[in-house]
Structure 1
Amino acid sequence: MPKFMLSLILITSGLLCSSMADAVPMQAEPPILQLYTEHSPPGEYLDANGNVSGATVELIKLLLSRLDQPATIELLPWARAFERAKLQRNSGVFETVRNAEREADFKWVGPLKMHAIGLYGRSDIFKGSNPIPVASNKYLACEYRQSVHVNALKRMGFTEGRNLVLTVNHGDCFTLLLKGRVQLVVLNEAAVSERQLQMQQAGYELVLLQQLSQVRLYLALSLDIDDNVVERWQHALEQTYRDGSMRRLYQGIYSEQMISNLEDFARKPG
């Protein structure tokens, strides 16, 4: 074959390959998702190295890996975490109660957990036959700002500035209870075992006074995130319930009843 013909073929092939390469766009990397949470052991806390850890955090990290989604996870006071996720694009917050008031502010993935919520006090204040406390100036109740349970306390008659203390961080109320500065706090069942141990070390018992509600906790994603992406998150989460991954992360930390309820949730059609 003449040299000029060979050169022409090579040049044409090169142009063709170049055109084909131009015609196939490079797949863009997904933007980094900014996730926020709060200090709420055993689900979320900073470990000895300052890394965000905990059973629920590990489940979120597993989902990020399966979805090939780059992300950062930052631990903040709850009110700040919630507001950032609400106002910032490509962001999310976990774990939070999904209710009518918040429904339109986020796109929802979950539930991550299901809990019984109760009102608790100290055994030296609330003994054996004591009645369930009513709102009065005799008792100070405590909850953290932006918590969905603040409204439950207000419906019971507790009022900020009179008999209701609102704190910035999730664990502050229990610290105040240990020190005897408040008499009533709201706790979920997952936190009770650890809190009971702390209370016993202080020489008291933690007493359940009243069941307040059953709640489901979710990952709340910002509204700009595409619905198809949210569906992929939901599918990946439910798959961890079906394949045993969630159980391996949650077992021994959360109740068997809750783990089974989540597995049952994933098995239901639709």
Structure 2
Amino acid sequence: MAVSLLLIIGQSHAEAFPSHSRMVLMTENFPPFNMSADGKNFSRDANIMGSNTAVIREMFKRAGIPYHLSLRFPWDRMYNLVLEKENYALFSVTLNDTRKPDFQWVGPLSSTRRVFVAAPGSTLTLTRLEEAHNYRIGSYRNASSGAFLEKNGIPFSSSLRDQENISKLLDGRIDFWVTNDPVFHYYAAQQGVSGLRVAFVAEAETYQYLAINRNTPEAVTKRLQESLDEMSADGTLQRLQTSFLKSAQ
């Protein structure tokens, strides 16, 4: 399979790969960047939407690389699968120093801010990260926000799904929800919740990428990055992101 990928990368971008050489792309519900059309935790191909999904589709189209797209759950199972299997990739993955050696990377696809979110009516706030030790924190198990808290030695209550932290905030079970902006806006709108407030910006900006198994031919990664760079230069990347992110405001 690796040899087939290398040979075809050198051919016309418009030429399709043989079916046995398709890449397998995996993702999760992380709206508005990637999500299933029906909100469920399993979906395939055309039933997966979101801004980064749109970017991925256009990027692979320009690169002439066929793929299968799958949305699954949980995140850590997909992450480990992509670590092990050649020609597998995962998005949207936040690039950090710990993860960087484990994959080949294409991006950035998008950016987010890491934020501490407070409940409607809450007057709690933080002036520096160290103060978080004094509060009950909720976050998403095995995702970048959870890794961020662990790296900084901040204890937190872990949820299986990020949006479950909204009910924890409203019920007073946690003081702050550590998540991403604009992701929390989307989940709040989905649940009909208004008034959630950013109490502290923990990281001004983090970037999401396509993480590719290390044994996948480097020519594949190179061509995908070239396609994404073309999209950035001609305005396609910004257009696709803007059209979806408006729904998260």
TM-score w.r.t. structure 2 length? 0.77
Match of 1:249 in 2: 240
- Pick from 34, 38, 41 the counterpart of residue 28 of structure 2: 38
Deviations 1:221-253 (A, max 9, x none): 001111111110000011111122223312243
CA distance change for structure 1 residues 185 and 48 in 2, over 3 Å: closer, same or farther? same
Residue identity in the other structure for 1:87: E
Q: Distance in 2 between matches of 1:40 and 1:170?
A: 9
Q: Distance in 1 between matches of 2:27 and 2:144?
A: 15
CA distance change for structure 1 residues 46 and 135 in 2, over 3 Å: closer, same or farther? same
SS in 2 for 1:254: helix
SS in 2 for 1:251: helix
Q: Distance in 2 between matches of 1:37 and 1:178?
A: 29
SS in 2 for 1:253: helix
SS in 1 for 2:245: coil
- Pick from 82, 88, 91 the counterpart of residue 91 of structure 1: 88
1:204-219 superposed matches below 5 A: 205-213=195-203, 214-219=205-210
Q: Is this contact kept in 2: 1:126–1:207, CA < 8 A?
A: no
Structure 1 position 48, deviation (Å): 3.5
- Pick from 196, 212, 232 the counterpart of residue 221 of structure 1: 212
Gaps of 5+ in 1: 1-26, 256-270
Q: CA-atom RMSD, angstroms? A: 2.5
Structure 1 position 84, deviation (Å): 1.4
- Work out the percentage of aligned pairs sharing the same amino acid: 22
Q: Is this contact kept in 2: 1:39–1:169, CA < 8 A?
A: no
Match of 2:4 in 1: none
Q: Distance in 1 between matches of 2:118 and 2:68?
A: 37
Q: Distance in 1 between matches of 2:146 and 2:38?
A: 31
TM-score w.r.t. structure 1 length? 0.72
Q: Which runs of 4+ in 1 moved over 4 A?
A: 130-133
Q: Is this contact kept in 1: 2:50–2:244, CA < 8 A?
A: no
How many pairs are equivalent?
219
Q: Is this contact kept in 1: 2:117–2:196, CA < 8 A?
A: yes
SS in 1 for 2:138: strand
SS in 2 for 1:62: helix
Gaps of 5+ in 2: 1-15
